[in-house]
A and B are shown apart, each in its own frame.
Chain A
Amino acid sequence: MNYHITHRTLYEYAAPVSVSHHVARLAPRVTPAQACENFSLSIFPEPALRKERTDYFGNQLCFFAIQEIHSRLEIITRSRVAVSPRPPAPDESPAPWESVAGIFRDPVSPEVVEPYQFVFDSPQIRASPALADYARESFTPETPLLAGARDLTRRIFTDFKFDPQATTVATPLEEVWAKRRGVCQDFAHLGIACLRSLGLPASYVSGYLRTRPPEGKPRLVGVDASHAWFRVFCPGPGWVDFDPTNNVRPAGEHVIVAYGRDYGDVSPVAGILTGGGEHAVKVSVDVAEI
Chain B
Amino acid sequence: MSDAENSQRGREQTPMTQSQSQSASDDTSFAKKAKPERLLSGYHRSAGAFDELLAAEGDIFPHYQKLVGELEDFGPAELTRRAEASQRFVREHGITYNVYGDPRGLERPWQLDPIPFVIAPAAWRELEIGLVQRAVLLNRILADCYGAQELIRSRWLSPALVFGQPDFLRPCHGIRLPGDTFLHFYAADLSRSPDGRWWVVSDRTQIPTGAGYALANRLVTSRILPEPFRDNHVHRLAGFFLAAQTALAQLAPRQADKARVVLLTPGPHNETYFEQAYLARYLGYTLVEGQDLTVRDNHVFLKTLSGLERADVILRRVDDDFCDPLELRNDSILGVPGLVEAVRAGNVVVANALGSGLVQSPAFMSFLPGLCEHLLGEKLKLPSVATWWCGQTPAREHVLRHLDRFVVRPAFRTHQSLAEVGPDELRRRIEFDPDLFVAQERVELSTAPAWDQGSLVPQPVSLRVFLVADGQGGYCVMPGGLTRVSPDTDGKFISMQRGGSSSKDTWIPSATPVQELTLLHGANQNVELRRTGNNLPSRLADNFFWLGRYSERADATSRLLRSALLRFNPERAGGSRPLLAPLLQTLETQGQLTGISARPELWANAEAFEAELLAAIFDAERAGSLRQTAEQLQRLAMLVRDRTSNDMWRVLSQIDDRLAAPPARQVMLAGDAVGVLNQTLLGLAAFHGLARENMTRAQAWRFLDMGLRLERAVYLCTLLDATLRSSDAENPSLLEAILEVVDCSITFRSRYNLLPTIPAVFDLVLLDDKNPRSVLFQIKQLVKHFDKLPKERGDSASPGKTILAGCLSRLEKTDARELAGPPEKWPESIVAATVRQTLRALPQLSDAIAASYFAHSAISRTGRGEV
In B336-374, the 8 Å CB interface with A consists of: 337-338, 341
Number of contact residues on A: which range applies? 35 or more
Q: A116-B159, A116-B163, A274-B857 are in contact. Are A269 and B153 (CB under 8 A)?
A: no
**Is there contact, CB below 8 Å, between A272 and B337?**
yes
Q: Determine whether A162 belongs to the interface, using a CB cutoff of 8 Å to chain B.
A: no
CA of A265 to CA of B327 in the docked complex: distance in angstroms?
Answer: 9
In whole Å, how far is A162's beta carbon from the nearest beta carbon of chain B? 14
Give min CB distance, A169 to chain B, whole Å. Answer: 6
| B863 close to A271 (CB less than 8 A) | yes
In whole Å, how far is A188's beta carbon from the nearest beta carbon of chain B?
Answer: 12
Q: Which of A42-69 contact B (CB under 8 A)?
A: 48-49, 51, 55-57, 63, 65, 67
A281's nearest neighbour on chain B, judged by CB, is: B866
Known: A106-B158, A226-B867. A11 touches B859 (CB 8 A): no
| Distance between Cα atoms of A169 and B865 in the complex (Å) | 6
Report the minimum CB–CB distance from A70 to chain B (whole Å): 13
Q: Which of A105, A226, A265, A273 contacts B861 (CB 8 A)?
A: A273
Beta-carbon contact of B153 and A113 below 8 Å:
yes
Is B752 close to A, CB under 8 A? no
Q: Is the CB of A106 within 8 A of B860?
A: no
- Chain A: CB-nearest residue to B332: A272
Q: Are B330 and A264 in contact (CB under 8 A)?
A: yes
The CA of A18 and the CA of B295, in the complex, are separated in Å by 12
- A169 & B338 in contact (Cβ 8 Å cutoff): no
B862 at the interface (CB under 8 A from A): yes
B341 contacts across to A, CB distance below 8 A: 21, 51, 63
How far, in whole Å, are A156 and B264 apart by their CA atoms in the complex? 46
In the bound complex, residues from chain A placing their C-beta under 8 Å from that of B535 are: none
- Asked whether A169 lies within 8 Å of B298 as measured between CB atoms, the reply is no
A168 CB–B CB distance under 8 Å: yes
Question: In the complex, what's the smallest C-beta–C-beta distance from A120 to chain B, in angstroms?
Answer: 4
List A156-212 residues whose CB lies under 8 Å from chain B: 168-170, 185
Identify A169's interface contact among B149, B326, B432, B864, CB under 8 A: B864
Chain A: CB-nearest residue to B329 = A123
Check A279 for interface membership: any CB of B closer than 8 A: yes
Contact of B163 among A120, A267, A276 (CB under 8 A): A120
Interface residues of A in 222-277 (CB under 8 A from B): 225-226, 263-265, 267-277
Would B170 and A113 count as touching, CB distance under 8 A? no
Contact between B159 and A169 (Cβ–Cβ < 8 Å)?
Answer: no
> Could you tell me which residues of chain A, from 87 to 117, have a CB within 8 Å of some CB in chain B?
105-108, 110, 113, 116-117
Residues on A with beta carbons closer than 8 Å to the beta carbon of B160: 106, 108, 116, 119-120
- Determine the residue in chain B with the shortest Cβ distance to A126: B433
**A23 CB-CB contact with B under 8 Å:** yes
**A21-B295, A23-B326 given; A275·B862 CB < 8 A:** no
Given the known A-B contacts A49-B298, A106-B392, A225-B867, are A271 and B862 also in contact in the complex, defined by CB atoms under 8 Å? yes
**Are B865 and A21 in contact, with the CB atoms below 8 A?**
no
Minimal beta-carbon separation of B177 from chain A (angstroms): 17
Give CA–CA (A106, B433) in the complex, Å: 12
Report yes or no: B865 in contact with A168, Cβ–Cβ below 8 A.
Answer: yes
Would you list which residues of chain A between 1 and 60 have a CB under 8 Å from chain B? 9, 11, 18-19, 21-23, 48-49, 51, 55-57
The answer to whether A113 touches B296, judged by C-beta atoms less than 8 angstroms apart, is no
Q: Which residues of B sit under 8 angstroms from A264, Cβ to Cβ?
A: 330, 864
| Partner of A268 from B153, B298, B863 at Cβ < 8 Å | B863
B303 CB → nearest A CB, Å: 10
Q: A225–B867 Cα gap in the complex (Å)?
A: 8
**Judging by beta carbons under 8 Å apart, are A56 and B861 in contact?**
no
Contacts of B449 in A (CB 8 A): none
Mark contacts of B378-398 with chain A using CB atoms, 8 A cut-off: 1 yes-contact digit, 0 otherwise: 000000000000011100000
A168 CA to B393 CA, complexed, in Å: 40
Asked whether A274 lies within 8 Å of B153 as measured between CB atoms, the reply is: no
Whether A281 pairs with B295 at a CB distance below 8 angstroms is no
Does A81 lie at the interface of the complex (its beta carbon under 8 Å from any beta carbon of B)?
A: no
Query: Is B864 in contact with A267, judged by CB distance below 8 angstroms?
Result: yes
**B152 / chain A contacts, CB cutoff of 8 Å:** 113
Judging by beta carbons under 8 Å apart, are A279 and B171 in contact?
no
B164 part of interface (Cβ distance < 8 Å): yes
Bits for B824-848, please: 1 = Cβ < 8 Å to A, else 0: 0000000000000000000000000
With A19-B296, A264-B330 as known contacts, state yes or no: A56 contacts B170, CB within 8 Å. Answer: yes
Taking the complex as formed, is A82 at the interface, i.e. its CB lies under 8 A from any CB of chain B?
no
Asked if A127 meets B859 with Cβ closer than 8 Å, knowing A113-B159, A270-B864, the reply is no
**Whose C-beta in chain B lies nearest to the C-beta of A112?**
B159
Contact B155 A107 (CB under 8 A): yes
Taking a contact as CB atoms under 8 Å apart, the answer to whether B862 and A117 are in contact is no
Flag whether B435 is at the interface (Cβ < 8 A).
Answer: yes
- Are A65 and B862 closer than 8 Å at their CB atoms? no
Chain A: minimal CB distance from B319 (Å): 15
> Does A151 have its Cβ within 8 Å of any Cβ on chain B?
no
In the complex, what residues of B have CB within 8 A of residue A19's CB? 294, 296
A276 vs B296: C-alpha distance when bound (angstroms): 18
Complex interface: chain B residues within 8 A of A23 (CB)? 326-327, 863
Which residues of chain B are near A276, meaning CB under 8 Å?
A: 860, 862
Contact A279 B860 (CB under 8 A): yes
Q: Which residues of A contact B158 (CB under 8 A)?
A: 106-108
- Asked if B325 is at the interface of the complex by the 8 Å CB criterion, the answer is yes
Residues in chain A near residue B858, CB distance under 8 A: 274-275, 277
- Greatest chain B CB density within 10 A among A19, A55, A272 is at A272
Q: Judge whether A141 is part of the interface by a CB distance below 8 angstroms.
A: no
| Residue B801 CB within 8 A of the other chain | no
Give complex CA distance A271, B164 in Å. Answer: 27
Q: A121 on the interface (CB 8 Å rule)?
A: yes
Q: Give the CA-CA distance A120 to B391 in the complex, in Å.
A: 12
Q: Which residue of B lies closest to A63 (CB)?
A: B341
A214 within 8 A of B: no
Binary per-residue interface labels of chain B (157-179) against chain A in the complex, 1 for a CB within 8 Å, 0 otherwise: 01110011010001101100000
Report if B37 contacts A (CB, 8 A).
no
What is the minimal beta-carbon distance from B537 to any residue of chain A, in angstroms? Answer: 15
Chain A proximity mask over B131-155: 1 for CB below 8 Å, otherwise 0: 0000000000000000001001111
* Sample (30) of A-B pairs whose CB atoms are under 8 Å apart: A19-B296, A21-B326, A21-B341, A22-B326, A51-B341, A55-B170, A56-B170, A67-B296, A108-B158, A108-B159, A113-B153, A116-B160, A116-B163, A117-B163, A120-B163, A121-B164, A267-B863, A268-B867, A270-B326, A270-B863, A271-B862, A272-B325, A272-B337, A273-B860, A273-B861, A274-B858, A277-B858, A279-B862, A281-B862, A281-B865
New A-B contacts (17) at CB < 8 Å, excluding given A107-B392, A169-B864, A267-B863? A23-B327, A49-B297, A51-B341, A63-B341, A65-B295, A65-B297, A67-B296, A110-B153, A116-B159, A117-B159, A117-B163, A268-B863, A268-B867, A272-B859, A274-B859, A277-B860, A281-B862
